[in-house]
Amino acid sequence: TLGGTVTLWDVEQKSAARALEGFTSSVWSVRFSPDGKLLAAGSHKNGLGVWEVEGEKWRFAPQPPKTDGESGE
């Protein structure tokens, strides 16, 4: 998604079921775990976030972008 929000869709209802907010930049990669219980999403600026689908909460929330002077190492 280009707006920083990941949208989960109900394909049977053909409508948005849930919007996952927390990213401040575009999300370029998403992947469900094999059992469908977790969703990992990643962005360049916020790193990785892991969403609990049934619990509807972040297990690992996306991190705020680093400011100038902070090292990612």
Residue 67: pLDDT over 80:
no
pLDDT at 73: 47
Taking CA atoms, 73 is separated from 4, 15, 39, 40, in Å, by 24, 41, 26, 22
pLDDT of 24-38, one tens digit each?
A: 889 999 999 999 999
Beta-carbon contacts of 63 under 8 Å, excluding residues fewer than 6 positions away, are 46, 47
pLDDT at 14: 95
